[in-house]
Structure formats: structure tokens, C-alpha cells
Amino acid sequence: MIKNQWYAVLDSKEVKKDKLTGVTRLSEKLVFWRDAKGEVHCIFDKCCHRGASLSVGKLVDDHVECPFHGFRYDSKGKVNYIPANGKQAKVPEQFKVNAYIVREAYGFIWLWYSDENADIPEIPFFEDLKEGFSYGGFSETWNVHYTRAIENQLDVVHLPFVHKTTIGRGDSKLVNGPVVKWDDNLMTFYVKNEMDKGQTPLKPNEILDYEKLFSLQFQMPNTWQNIISDKVRILAAFVPIDEENTHIYLRFYQSFMKAPGLKQLINASSKIMNRVILHQDRSVVLTQLPIKTELDMGEKLIQGDLPILEYRKKRAELKQ
Ligand code: FES
Ligand SMILES: [Fe+2]
């Protein structure tokens, strides 16, 4: 995992009022909840007393009560009430668990994954999706490291094979470029796949009018968008559960239909096709070995794999 990053970790809707939500994210057992004001909090999901899972306890006055012996935790992860010791007893300082910095934005819960809590940057999100779009979506878990799930969405070579019946129709097997541009931790890659008529694929620097091409973006560390048009996007968040599992949130964003009811209908029905496409990917990605990728791992990459290579380099750089 790359430190000092905001990770999208949950859909906003998954954290409800008056309820604890226990999930594993970034290899940590976590419990999330909303306080009376609706603000989201997150602490480690293992009681410091004798290890019970706090997420199967309950919320009492904005505090998490452990189901085993009733220790109560505040949003800083501090125990401030031990029933067996009586209401008057002072709780020693060391009775606490980790508390995490979390925020809600753009329909996701984001977690600041770091040892440092100073100078926290803004949550990175695709500028053009911040306003004017509505969305519908679904999520599912894949048994792969998140790097494999991400790289699949940076892979422009697989389209006519994996998606022959859907988005890869047309036999465009020859891959020019692709062109990759970075703006800080945001990668934009431009795709120019075409039918093989005996031509030599263009090198990335030979594609001069790349800005007119179809493009996609990946925002480190875990969000991606497919820019289908000004008004239609597919967004994905690849949420690390642990070293072997990833939860994928896939959303259809559109800004052409604003009428309530109709817009929900369009956004919801997009799920059907998107699920078909995602499962075409899943059928192959789950077979890839090893399930986690690194910059130096002995894979024989080709020119068309440039976005994947660029992602691996950026990841290695940010991990240092
Ligand atoms: S294990 Fe949580 S209060 Fe005892
Ligand atoms: Fe795909």
C-alpha cells in the first residue's frame, strides 16, 4: 500500500445512521459509523480489552460499545467508560485503539492512509465529475491484489480479446501508442487501436493529434474513469481489502438526463451492461499470476502496455 494517500474505501451509502459498519480495508479491520450530526468516524475494529470485534457491538450516544464487556469508545479511539469499574472510575490513557482520519466526499468515504497527520492534502477526485453528474452503480469483491484489478483498466491491448462481444467489437487488435501523460498523480492515456492492415504501430511520440483521441484517466492511488463523452463516464474505485482481495465500486456517471425518476432509471439500468463487461475482465484477471504486481517482476511487456508500466513506476516512486 502506498502511504500518504487518500483512499476511497466505501460507498457513502454503506455507512448508515445508528449502525456500525465493520469492514477490512487496507489490511486493517475497521469499524465505521455516523454520529448524530451525520459525520463519519472510523476506529480499529478490535477491542483493546480482550479482542472482540467492536463492529458487532452497538452505538450508544455517538460512542461504540463493545459487545463483550461494554467498554465504550469515542471517535478518537479512546475508551471513556469501563462498566465493570463503575461510572466514577477514570479510564487510563492506554485504553485505546487506533483512530483513522476519514472524510466523506463525492459519494465515497475516504481514508487518509499515513503515519503523518499534518499537511493533509485535498481529496483527489476527477475535476469534471465534481458537479453536474448523477450516477448509479454496484460493487463486488475480486480475489486479487488491487494492482491487478487496476492494471486491467489500464490495459488497452485486451479489448478485442476479452471484450470481443461488447466494447472490443471491430477487431482493432493493432495498438498505436498509447500516449500517456501525467499531471502530478493523475494519468491520462489516449487510445488509438485499429485494424491490422499491415501497418506498423505508431510509437507514442508519433501520435501528434493525441488530444483528439479517446482517453481514460487513473488517479493515484485507486480511482479511474473512462471518458466516454463529455456527458457520460464510467468510474471505478479499486479498494484494497488486503493483499489478496479487492473491492471494486463501479459507477455510471451521466449529465445528459436531469429529470428525477428518469435519471435514476438510466443510471440504474446501466448496471446490467457494466456488469457484463466487468465480468468479462474478471474471468481473465482472476487467473493472472502472481496476483500482485511490482515494477520488476519479469513480465514481458510490449509497447501497448505503456499505461501499465507507467502505473508501476509511479507506484514504486510513491512507495519510497
Ligand atoms: S473484549 Fe471488549 S470489553 Fe471486553
Ligand atoms: Fe476490460
What atom of ligand 1 comes closest to residue 66's alpha carbon?
2
Q: What is the pLDDT of residues 133-143, one digit of tens each?
A: 999 999 999 99
Banded model confidence at residue 117, pLDDT cuts 50, 70, 90? confident
CA of 171 to the centre of ligand 2 (A): 15
* Residue 156 pLDDT exceeds 90: yes
Q: What is the pLDDT of residues 49-77, one digit of tens each?
A: 999 999 999 999 999 999 999 999 999 99
Q: 208 and 246, same structural domain?
A: yes
CB count in 10 Å sphere of residue 186: 15
* Residue 118 pLDDT exceeds 90: no
Q: 234 and 149, same structural domain?
A: yes
Banded model confidence at residue 104, pLDDT cuts 50, 70, 90? very high
Q: Determine contact, residues 276/132, Cβ cutoff 8 Å.
A: no
Domain that holds residue 84: 5-113
Q: Determine contact, residues 285/148, Cβ cutoff 8 Å.
A: yes
- Pocket lining: 52 vs ligand 1, CB cutoff 6 Å: yes
Q: Determine contact, residues 174/193, Cβ cutoff 8 Å.
A: yes
- Pocket lining: 47 vs ligand 1, CB cutoff 6 Å: yes
Banded model confidence at residue 116, pLDDT cuts 50, 70, 90? confident
Q: What is the CATH number of the domain that holds 106?
A: 2.102.10.10
- Pocket lining: 167 vs ligand 1, CB cutoff 6 Å: no
Q: 156 and 14, same structural domain?
A: no
Q: What is the pLDDT of residues 192-240, one digit of tens each?
A: 999 999 999 999 999 999 999 999 999 999 999 999 999 999 999 999 9
